[in-house]
Amino acid sequence: GQQLNQSPQSMFIQEGEDVSMNCTSSSIFNTWLWYKQDPGEGPVLLIALYKAGELTSNGRLTAQFGITRKDSFLNISASIPSDVGIYFCAGQQGDSWGKLQFGAGTQVVVTP
Amino acid sequence: EAGVAQSPRYKIIEKRQSVAFWCNPISGHATLYWYQQILGQGPKLLIQFQNNGVVDDSQLPKDRFSAERLKGVDSTLKIQPAKLEDSAVYLCASSLGTSGRLNEQFFGPGTRLTVL
């Protein structure tokens, strides 16, 4: 089963608000990736993190690699309607030969 | 640069029938992955290829699922015979390699399979 605990499961927010979600695990990861999936499409890579403590931005998105290497956070600032979708965290462990473990996703709904 | 291509996009079959999915990765990507995504869940890795060799197939139900990547480029995933619980989206992804930035995986649009 999945080892990554992603929360919240869903969020209903108003346009312009900020969004925060996180992913935690009991295991250490070397890489954290954040993806967004629109209905009927495959996940699209948003941000990749490679070092503990790393903070990386992509437009209005900011993600952090937790100091303990067991968690990661994604923030979306000033949400807009096109931010609607499901956001997934994914982590790679050191000995996994590229295998990613995914969280169950956070569904974001933005209302005008 | 062209992305990961998958076909068909949708497939409806009856249980016990067979089905096959095709994937063409991004040009130059040595690593290819097949994931199963059940509704409401994140993708789960089924099988991983490095060039034309299998790296990880530990979660592939080998009694009914098979996959190949004969020339190290495109790949097919087959289910024979299908069960109701195989209804899911099958995603193909590719990456340059397996560690660090080389493991940034790019996904195709997926094939939505419905087993009746």
Instruction: Note the pLDDT tens digit of each residue in A47-77.
Output: 999 999 999 999 999 999 999 999 999 999 9
Query: Residue B19: CB partners within 8 Å, gap ≥ 6?
Result: B11, B13, B78, B79, B80, B82, B113
When comparing pLDDT for B2 and A53, which is higher?
Answer: A53
Backbone angles phi, psi at A81, to 5 degrees: -55, -35
Beta-carbon pairs below 8 A across chains A and B:
69
Query: 3-state DSSP call for residue A60?
Result: coil
Interface list for B 42-71 with A (CB within 8 A): 42-45, 48, 50, 55-56
Q: Is B25 on the interface with A (CB under 8 A)?
A: no
**Residue A13 contacts residue A79 (beta carbons within 8 Å):** yes
pLDDT value of residue A112: 84
When comparing pLDDT for A85 and B1, which is higher?
Answer: A85
Query: 3-state DSSP call for residue A99?
Result: coil
In sign, the C-alpha dihedral spanning A7, A13, A15, A16 is: negative
| Total length of chain B | 116
Locate the chain B residue with the closest alpha carbon to A87. B42
B86-100 burial, b if ≥16 CB within 10 A, otherwise e? bbbbbbbbbbbebee
Which is nearest to A91 in space by CA: A20, A22, A11, A9? A22
For residue A53, with 0-12 CB atoms within 10 Å meaning exposed, 13-18 middle and 19 or more buried, which class applies? exposed
**Which one-letter amino acid corresponds to residue B99?**
S
> What average pLDDT does range B63-81 have in this prediction?
95
**Residue B113 contacts residue B34 (beta carbons within 8 Å):** no
Measured between beta carbons, the chain A residues lying within 8 angstroms of B4 are 42
pLDDT value of residue B116: 97
Q: What is the spatial distance between Cα A83 and Cα A97, in angstroms, rounded to a whole number?
A: 32
What stretch of H or E contains B91? strand B88-95
> What average pLDDT does range B55-76 have in this prediction?
94
Intervals of chain A under pLDDT 50: 1
Instruction: Please judge whether B41 and A105 are an interchain contact, meaning their C-beta atoms are less than 8 angstroms apart.
Output: yes
The greatest distance separating any two alpha carbons of chain B, rounded to the nearest whole angstrom, comes to: 41
